[in-house]
Amino acid sequence: MQQPVILISGASRGIGLAAARQLSARGAIVLVASRSFDRAQQAAAAMGGAATALQLDVTDECSIALAVSEVATRFGRLDVLVNNAAVLLDHHESISLLKREVLSETFATNVSGALCLAQAMLPLLEKSSDPRIINVSSRAGQLGSELQTWAPAYSMSKSALNMLTQQLAAAYPGIAVNSMCPGWCRTEMGGPDAPRSADEGADTLVWLAMDAPHALRGNFIKNRETIHW
């Protein structure tokens, strides 16, 4: 079997980095993508194996185009795209004070960035025998959960990312597209009080990338099980 080629956006830290390490240890060719090429290089070098750094800003069309060109030239295909890049700009903000620019910036990365990267990588994914897209979402975006006031822009963006997952799954039945919830993890975004480690949060992501049946598609997954949207 060919080594799977896996691109993870926002992979120089947090859950993306933890997933990249685990996937690299399992023999995958992992493209550690980050806005900071220096940080991506440092992360990839620390992993060894077939990990390689990739400069990628999902809010920049030119950056996306260059990333597509590099993946096409070096590998000719992409087996797994992980839309992990995200921002959390309104951690303790009230929706009554939420600024338009904060909402726009949040959606630009968390939703539009994921869509544009998926669109650009589709021709390479279609060359894979087992193409997959994994969107890293959050329980904060669940519509069926209790009422909440936490991080309104971030939460709304994750709800939109879940709908993007369903749209892509419906439009591309040959690609296993799923959202996943890593849980509350001890990362730069999650803070030091979270109950899960980044490695624990990455477990479902790694499973979806390497082990989940291809027939599993159009779902929201946590702890390797489907949960409500």
pLDDT, tens digit (0-9, with 9 covering 90-100), for 13-27: 999 999 999 999 999
d(CA 43, CA 34): 10
pLDDT in tens, 67-76: 999 999 999 9
Higher pLDDT, 177 or 195: 177
pLDDT of residue 147: 85
Judge whether 11 and 17 are in contact, CB under 8 Å. yes
- Identify the active-site residue in 99, 154, 172, 222: 154
Which range of residues forms the domain containing residue 65? 5-227
pLDDT of residue 100: 97
pLDDT of residue 189: 83
pLDDT above 70: residue 1: no
d(CA 143, CA 76): 39
- The token pair at 169 is 């799954």
pLDDT of residue 221: 98
Is 172 an active-site residue?
Answer: no
210 residue type, one letter: M
Q: What percent of the chain has pLDDT over 70?
A: 100
Whole-prediction pTM value? 0.96
Of 139, 155, 132, 152, which Cα lies nearest the Cα of 211?
132
- Identify the active-site residue in 99, 127, 158, 222: 158
Cα torsion at 18, 57, 165, 121 (round to 10°)?
A: -100
Is 158 an active-site residue?
Answer: yes
Q: Look at residue 27 and give its three-state secondary structure.
A: coil
- Mean pLDDT, the chain, rounded, equals 96
The arithmetic mean of pLDDT across residues 100-110, rounded, is 98
pLDDT in tens, 59-93: 999 999 999 999 999 999 999 999 999 999 998 88
Judge whether 84 and 15 are in contact, CB under 8 Å. yes
pLDDT of residue 62: 98
Of 113, 135, 138, which Cα lies nearest the Cα of 189?
138
Q: With bands split at pLDDT 50, 70 and 90, how would you rate the model's confidence at 178?
A: very high
Judge whether 28 and 50 are in contact, CB under 8 Å. yes
d(CA 130, CA 212): 11
The CATH number that applies at residue 71 is 3.40.50.720
Q: How many domains does the chain have?
A: 1
